[in-house]
A and B are shown apart, each in its own frame.
Chain A
Amino acid sequence: MHWGGALFTLCLSASLAASYTNNVPSAISGERYNEDLFIRPLLDGRVATTFTFTTDLLEDVLRDSESSGQHYTLFPLTLGQILEEYSIAELHLTLNSGKWDYDHWGYPDDPSVGTGAELWAWMADGPSSTIDERWTGLRNALAGLFCASLGSLDMRRTSSPSTVFPISSSPSTPHALRYANLPSENVCTENLTPFVKLLPCKSRAGLATLLNPQRIFDADWHGLNIHLRSTEKGTELKLGVQAVFDPVRLSGGRRRDWSFRLLFDRVIHNSCSVAGSSVVRVQVPDGESHALSPTFVADDSAAAVYNLITQVPLDVSMSWPYEHTFQYPRVHQSRLVPLSVQRTLHGSSQIHGLLFIALTNNGQNDIVVGYFENLPALVTLWMHTMEIKVDGVKRDDLISNVTYHPHHVLANGQKSPSTFQATLTIPAASTLHLSMEVSRAFLKYTEHPPDAMRGWDLPPAILFPVCDPTMGICNMRNTSTDVRGRMYTPSLLIDLPTPDFSMPYNVIIFTCTLITLIFGSIFNLLTRSWVIVRVED
């Protein structure tokens, strides 16, 4: 009875508080919906925007087995059914396109910026066959829901790196992780359409009216993400859209002034009536050379806040009235993140190559970071050729906790991916070079995609914060030079040796011709008889 009374008072007080502050009747008990748009002008004239739509379910839908059915008002039923069906505790799906430039754009608001499709889920544990079955069902259900080809995230791309993607709650029963990514996945309007349909107000009111596909998919970097996890209060669903726009390009190369009309080709006319809070926050750059309109309220982190519930219609615009033409910042400007990473594949042979990773520490303290690679069986990493060098000097002490699972053949003849995980220490103000020889796979004729000459995409490598054993507890150190959240490298394009696809046709034609000639000749030799024919004069 305690939890009943507590829940009731929580709901009552939440609704009272909400109605007192916002004058919005949040009469839907047990569910809360908030929306947020954060706009950050960047130094190179671009504008990073992050939409976050959060729906909180105050009761625990995933473990409440006595519930008589799934009755939601704000929480999307399709996702609820998927979670219930496959016993998912935590689900993360991202669909991104582009390359996130950490050096000039800083950290993204949502750390999952790996190119293509990335899906990982913590599921209630059981025999591995049921986990894999549920993983297949989950992939296909999400593929159908979001019109994405997630069905190809099968066991050839799935692994289970539980230190890289830890579960955020602490569940009572054991859970298992499944992680897969597909870097060559395209993101387009057919992924955005069902995404917007998961929101309570869809694209008619609130912040989602700004989601114009013709502008979002024109951005230099764009991504959709779905994060669903259990918290101690219940279930939290976060739907997000991130996009990095380029007003300088949109304005013909002259000015970096932006507004909703320029970026999204839309303005917000109505606010979503079921939203508990609906705000637009703009990070105001330092200095006084800019102008931001309309009038705003500043919050404690020096960001301008517009409350959509009271301030509609809304068209935020920022301009630099004293700047005639925008000048790009110089190359030597300091980098915005302490760690820069570059990953390349060297080698011109079709059989061998060299995977080369350069990690540059821009700060004055050593950085300890974890490194994770999940490569499909297209390449084989040779661990014995791994070399760690700093300024040309071999430094094997900088790598520890190496875990390597080479790819192996599964029961159905496919090959599992190879995973490589290590903890690296990069000394202050220096560059660490990690290199490893790889050999490229020779695929069967039927395993090549229709556009085999394009090559294959290798998934991005992930740098993740690690627990420092000297600290005792697993949290990030407090220095500002540490890695915050996960970082993703760009994906790589690899050329595998392709066969001559016309050879089967050539072989058939050639063989048939030979057999015809040989058979024909021998048959004639054996059976032809010469007869003298008298011709009359």
Chain B
Amino acid sequence: MHWLQHLPRHCLFLLACLAAWTLAISQDEPVANFFGKHNGTSGHTNNWAVLVCASRYWFNYRHMANALGMYRTVKRLGIPDSNIILMLADDVACNARNKFPGSVYAKSGRHLDLYGENIEVDYRGYEVTVENFIRLLTGRVDPSVPRSKRLLTDDRSNIFVYMTGHGGNEFLKFQDNEEISAFDIADAFEQMWQKKRYNEIFFMIDTCQANTMYSQFYSPNILATGSSEIGENSYSHENDNDVGVSVIDSYTHFVLEYMEGINKTSQVSMQDLFSSYDPVKIRSHPGVRSDLFQRPLEGALVTDFFGGVSQAEIFPVIEEDADTTLQYITRVSFPDQVVHSDPVSPQAYHDQGVDMTKSNAPALTPEKDNMMLDVRWKDIRKWTSITIVGFLVGWVSFVR
């Protein structure tokens, strides 16, 4: 009866196999499929932008224009004002020195007004401080802070953080009065990760020696880019003779020029954006840090961070089935091909090959059957492992 002596060992071995099988086909997969983490897509459901201009005074007009240029771009690509936190340390549009009141221009020639008529600046003037910035990121704000000044992100938010001002080796100056260091920002991002306040962060910074600012990050899912290496300055791009000061910085100018060719349906990837950097034209060496970023850069779309584009595919309502408890299936997936964020028209259905007619309803039922089969296998695994454990316990207690 030697096999009976080996029975507990065999049962334990069987139990271990069952456990491994359960772990392998884990519960996370349908959830991941639902959010589209397969195929290398981002898995975000909303977009936020935090745009910070940290310099004061009229001669830093170009920093304000940098931040406003980014503001205009993200608004154009779909992020609403409620999801944008714009921090401007000084008021240049209605400054007494501005010859064109109510307008901020980023190019000499003054063709495009960045201020416009519809702008909301959330933090202005003396409110742009290091403390307010870190409180905004981490969410530790006073209860009296109004809703428009809070970063209400969740763990499915992609955040675009843009900072500009005067800076140096691992620091950025706020209002010529105080500094924020690369360690502060890295710790703030880590707090955000611990509190599940972001899905992915894209950090862009345009100052002197900007690449040092992202050297200290240690949280996952952060993609960072800066305008110049350590020991290098970032230069302004051009002056406007009537405004009287430099109106834009070189790096931001070229990034904005590139973004002008992008609209909401664009499939341009972050790698394309980074490949467009030309150190000769920008007059400094921009850098990229992607080791903390888990997706390949060719698969990350520019609109994942700069735009508020969500991709949804809506299937028609299926018949009610007596067998199933599921009445309606609305499956939201993130396919590779792009669907417009406009309201879906019947035309789109035909383009996708999905027919609104009733004959297509049975096409969905095999999917339904698959799901039922999965549920049954889970039940079998569960009961088998319980019986094996119960048998082992009973055998041990009976023998002893």
| A97-B94 contact in complex given A149-B126, A193-B118, C-beta closer than 8 Å | yes
Contact yes or no, A214 B102, CB < 8 A: yes
Interface string of B122-157 (1 = CB under 8 A from A): 101111000000000000000011111100000000
Q: Tell me which residues from 348 to 387 in chain B have a Cβ below 8 Å from any Cβ of chain A.
A: none
> Are B101 and A217 interface neighbours, CB within 8 A?
yes
Assess the A451–B57 pair: CB atoms within 8 A.
yes
Contacts of B177 in A (CB 8 A): 450
Q: Which residues of chain A have C-beta atoms less than 8 A from B103's C-beta?
A: 214
Q: B126 is contacted by which of A136, A145, A152, A194 (Cβ under 8 Å)?
A: A152
Q: Is the CB of B127 within 8 A of A151?
A: yes
* Contact residues, A437-467 vs B (CB, 8 A): 449-451
Q: Is the CB of A193 within 8 A of B117?
A: yes
Cα A214 to Cα B113 with chains together (Å): 10
Asked if A144 meets B126 with Cβ closer than 8 Å, knowing A189-B117, A217-B101, A451-B56, the reply is: no
Interface flag for B121 (CB, 8 Å): yes
A144 x B146 contact (CB < 8 A): yes
What is the size category of the interface that chain A forms with chain B?
20 to 34
Contacts A137-B144, A188-B102, A218-B101; is A149 near B125 (CB within 8 Å)?
yes
A216 CA to B115 CA, complexed, in Å: 14
80-124 of chain B: CB within 8 A of chain A: 91, 93-94, 100-103, 113, 115-122, 124
A123: min CB distance to chain B, Å:
16
- Closest B-chain residue to A138, C-beta based? B144
Output the least CB separation between A421 and chain B (Å).
Answer: 29
Does B176 make an interface contact (CB < 8 A)? yes
- B175 at the A/B interface (Cβ < 8 Å)? yes
A186 located at the interface, meaning its Cβ lies under 8 Å from any Cβ of chain B in the complex = yes
Chain A residues with Cβ below 8 Å from B56 are 450-451
Assess the B176–A149 pair: CB atoms within 8 A: no
Q: Are B126 and A190 in contact, CB atoms less than 8 angstroms apart? A: no
Contact across chains for B127 and A186 when beta carbons are under 8 A apart:
no
Find the A residue at minimum CB distance from B123: A149
A residues near B102, Cβ cutoff 8 Å: 188-189, 213-218
In this complex, the member of B101, B113, B116, B127 whose beta carbon has the largest number of chain A beta carbons within 10 angstroms is B101
Q: B175 and A140: CB pair below 8 A?
A: no
CA distance A230 to B304 in the complex (A): 49
CB–CB B100/A214 < 8 A: yes
Contact A189 B119 (CB under 8 A): yes
B44 to chain A, nearest CB (A): 26
With A149-B124, A218-B102 as known contacts, state yes or no: A189 contacts B149, CB within 8 Å.
Answer: no
Nearest-CB residue, chain B, relative to A448: B177
A136 to B, closest residue via Cβ? B144
In Å, the complex CA distance between A141 and B143 comes to 11
Q: Would you call A449 and B126 a contact (CB within 8 A)?
A: yes
Chain B interface SS verdict (over half):
loop
Question: How long is the Cα–Cα vector from A7 to B349 in the complex, in angstroms?
Answer: 53
Shortest Cβ distance from A212 into B: residue: B117
Residue among A147, A190, A215 with max Cβ neighbours from chain B (10 Å): A190
Given contacts A149-B124, A151-B127, A193-B119, contact A186 B94 (CB under 8 A): yes
Instruction: Please report the C-alpha to C-alpha distance between residue A478 and residue B94 in the assembled complex, in whole angstroms.
Output: 41
**Which of A97, A189, A218, A450 contacts B116, CB < 8 Å?**
A189
Q: Which residue of A lies closest to B147 (CB)?
A: A144
User: In the complex, what's the smallest C-beta–C-beta distance from B7 to chain A, in angstroms?
Assistant: 70
Taking chain A's interface residues, is the majority helix, strand, or loop, or is none over half, making it mixed?
A: helix
Contact yes or no, A143 B146, CB < 8 A: yes
A140, A152, A449: the one contacting B144 at CB < 8 Å is: A140
Q: How many B residues have CB within 8 A of the partner chain?
A: 31
- Distance between Cα atoms of A148 and B101 in the complex (Å): 18
Give chain A interface residues in 122-157, CB to chain B under 8 Å: 136-137, 140-141, 143-145, 147-149, 151-152
Which of A148, A188, A212, A449: most chain B CB closer than 10 A? A188
Q: How far is the CA of A449 from the CA of B57 in the complex (A)?
A: 13
CB nearest neighbor in B for A215: B102
B100 nearest in chain A by CB position: A214
Asked if B94 and A189 make an inter-chain contact with CB atoms under 8 angstroms apart, the answer reads yes
CA distance A513 to B115 in the complex (A): 50
Q: Which residue of B lies closest to A449 (CB)?
A: B126
Within 8 A of A (CB), among B162-188: 175-177
C-alpha spacing A189/B86, complex, angstroms: 14
For A136, A203, A214, A216, the residue with the greatest tally of chain B CB atoms inside 10 Å of its CB is A214
Least distance between A2 CB and chain B CB atoms (Å):
42
Closest Cβ neighbor of A144 among chain B residues: B146
Question: Closest Cβ of chain B: how far from A215's Cβ, in Å?
Answer: 8
A164 at the interface (CB under 8 A from B): no
The smallest C-beta distance from B100 to any residue of chain A, in angstroms, reads: 7
State whether A214 and B121 are in contact (beta carbons under 8 Å apart), knowing that A189-B115, A449-B126 are contacts in the complex. no
Give A13 to B373 CA distance when docked, in angstroms: 70
Q: How far is the CB of A134 from chain B (nearest CB, A)?
A: 11
In the docked arrangement, what's the CA distance between A152 and B145, Å? 12
A contact residues around B149 at 8 Å (CB): 144
Judge whether A140 and B117 touch: CB under 8 Å.
no
Answer whether A145 and B146 are a contact pair too, CB < 8 Å, given A190-B119, A193-B120.
yes
Find chain A residues with CB under 8 A from B100 CB: 214
Q: Are B145 and A450 in contact (CB under 8 A)?
A: no
Residues of A within 8 A of B101 (CB): 214, 217-218
Please report which residues of chain A, range 367-412, place their CB below 8 angstroms from some CB of chain B when the two chains form the complex. none
Using CB atoms, name the residue of chain A closest to B128.
A450
Q: Which residue of A lies closest to B127 (CB)?
A: A149
A508 to chain B, nearest CB (A): 15
Question: For the complex, is A187 an interface residue (Cβ under 8 Å from B)?
Answer: yes
Q: Are B120 and A188 in contact (CB under 8 A)?
A: no
- Given that A213-B117, A214-B102 are contacting pairs, would A188 and B122 also be in contact in the complex, using a CB cutoff of 8 Å? no
**Residues of chain B lying within 8 A (CB to CB) of residue A192:** 117
Q: Is the CB of A147 within 8 A of B120?
A: yes
Contact partner, A190, options B121, B144, B147, Cβ 8 Å: B121
Residues of B within 8 A of A217 (CB): 93-94, 101-102
Within the assembled complex, what's the spacing in Å between the Cα atoms of A125 and B127? 31
Contacts of B121 in A (CB 8 A): 147, 188, 190
- What residues on B are CB-neighbors of A214 within 8 Å? 100-103, 113
**A216 to B119 CA separation, bound complex (whole angstroms):** 15
Given the known A-B contacts A193-B120, A203-B117, A214-B102, are A186 and B125 also in contact in the complex, defined by CB atoms under 8 Å? yes
- The reply to whether B125 and A194 contact each other, CB–CB distance below 8 Å, is no
Chain B positions within 8 Å of A, measured between CB atoms, are 56-57, 91, 93-94, 100-103, 113, 115-122, 124-127, 144-149, 175-177
Task: List the 8 closest A-B pairs by CB distance, nearest first.
Answer: A144-B146, A188-B94, A450-B177, A450-B175, A214-B102, A190-B121, A218-B101, A213-B102
Kindly list 12 other residue pairs between chains A and B, CB separation below 8 angstroms, not including A140-B144, A188-B94, A190-B121.
Answer: A144-B148, A144-B149, A147-B124, A190-B120, A213-B117, A214-B101, A215-B102, A216-B102, A217-B101, A450-B176, A450-B177, A451-B176
User: What is the interface of chain A, defined by CB distance below 8 A to chain B?
Assistant: 97, 136-137, 140-141, 143-145, 147-149, 151-152, 186-190, 192-194, 203, 212-218, 449-451
18 A-B pairs whose Cβ atoms sit less than 8 Å apart in the complex: A136-B144, A140-B146, A145-B146, A145-B148, A147-B148, A149-B124, A152-B126, A152-B127, A189-B115, A190-B121, A193-B120, A213-B117, A215-B102, A217-B101, A218-B102, A450-B126, A450-B175, A451-B175
